[in-house]
Structure formats: structure tokens, C-alpha cells
Amino acid sequence: MRIALIGDIHGNLLALDAVLAEVTGEVDAIICLGDVAVGPQPVETLDRIRELDCPVLMGNWDAWFLDGFPVLPEELGKRLIETAEWWAAHLGAEHRRFMRRFERSVEVSVQDDSRLVAYHASPRSFDEGILATTSPDELDRMLDGVDASVVVCGHTHYQMLRRHDDTILVNPGSVGLSFCGKGPIMRIAPWAEYGVITLEDRRLAVDLRRTAFDARAFADLIRSSGMPHAEWWAGLWTQSVGPVPVAAA
């Protein structure tokens, strides 16, 4: 069995289509880890995901689109909420009904009675990230009660492969809003990230991938969309505007 892991698409249909072009015909199943619509192409991205007829997890931004946005601090938070409110206003009733069907977790039975379990962020919450630096003690608490040989999570926008006791933790990264850089200030990467898990003949293989998409065309689309703060948002992909904090996830 080969499973494609996609997530944190953030309304970036160009990146999503680049990923789907690579995995179509290669995998047996797709799992979408959520945060689908929050971005410059919310309707188009939701439509494409619905066409896949795959399991979709409820991300934090998906839930906020449906049930109301939090108050985020400082200027960055205000910009993010203003743009998200503009994107959310483009969703019709049918798109919202589709999003209401997003799941909290997805389980896949694999060989030898093992299980793969997927979450948007962690088993405890859709806005609690698991990082490479998360302590083993904290991971014990996060994974308490989870019986799975493979745990898949997204949300952080960073690819990760980590072992914790007998569990493999996999984060395929972000399709539409990949972070790069070091330190507390991160930048948007001009590529799409995803993963492919292969489970066959008692073997497990995890393939974390990056693929190019036309980031400049995406920036041009943003500028012509009429969305708030378009020039700032477009600049994140053309490097004309600088860093964005991790909190933007």
C-alpha cells in the first residue's frame, strides 16, 4: 500500500496541482491533513480536494472558517485575520457543508495488524504542533492512549521524520505554505511539500518530497485577486517582502 500525505494547502491550487500531478497513478490512497481553504484560492482548492474523495482532517483554520476567528495579537495577526475573513466570505453553503465533514482523525489498518493514525496537529488538539524539538516527556503526554505504529501530523509547516519509542512520527510538511529558515523568524519557501508512505512485505518506507510550482504566477494571482494586504502576501513568495513568524501557521 502506498499512501500520499498532503496537508496545509492554504488555498494554493497551483501547489496542490503540482503535487497531484506527481502522485496520480503512483499511490493507492491520499490522506489530506487539513487547513485546505485558508488562502488566495479557497473555493478552487476545496473543489479539487472534494474531487479526490479522500479523507480530510479538520485543521485549525478550517474550524475557524466555520465557527469564527480568534483574536490574534499584533499587526501580523490582524493582517492574517483580515485576509482570512475575506477568503471565508467567498465560500458558499455547499463548501461549508463539505468542510463540516472534515474528520478529527483518520485510521488506516496496515500489515500485521498495525495501524497508521493521522491528525492535523496532535492527538490532543488541531492547533498543537509536534516538533523535532518536542521533548520525549511531552510526546508521552501527547500520544497517551494512541496505539499506532505510524502517527502522521501536520500543522507546523515543517517536514519531520522522528521515532518515539515504537512509533514513527511523520510530518509531510505544507503543500501551499512551506516554511524555511532558522530561528524564531521563518520565510515562505517557493516549493510544495508532501510525503508518500509505502507499507508492503513487512517494510515501511517514508518518502518526504519537495516539488516546484510557479510561485511567481501564484504571486501574480494574489495581486490581481482584490484580497486585503495582497502586495504583502504576494511578496512572501517573491522574496520582495521578508520574514513571517512561525505563529502564522
List the chain pLDDT tens, one digit each, 249 residues: 999 999 999 999 999 999 999 999 999 999 999 999 999 999 999 999 999 999 999 999 999 999 999 988 788 889 999 999 999 999 999 999 999 999 999 999 876 677 899 999 999 999 999 999 999 999 999 999 999 999 999 999 999 999 999 999 999 999 999 998 765 556 789 899 999 999 888 889 999 999 999 999 999 999 999 999 999 899 887 763 344 444 334
Residue 147 CB coordination number (10 Å): 10
Q: Which pTM does this prediction carry? A: 0.93
CA of 89: how far to CAs of 11, 56, 101, in Å? Answer: 14, 21, 19
DSSP 110: -
Sheet holding 159-164, edge to edge: 106-109, 115-118, 150-152, 167-172, 159-164
Contact 90, 24 (CB under 8 A): no
Contact residues for 161 (Cβ-Cβ < 8 A; gap 6+): 168, 169, 170, 171, 206, 208
Reduced to 3 states (helix: H, G, I; strand: E, B; else coil), residue 145 is coil
Measured between alpha carbons, how far is 154 from 127 in angstroms, rounded to an integer? 10
Q: What's residue 43's pLDDT? A: 97
Q: Which of 33, 17, 59, 12 is nearest to 195 (CA)?
A: 33
Give domain 2-248's CATH superfamily.
Answer: Metallo-dependent phosphatases (3.60.21.10)
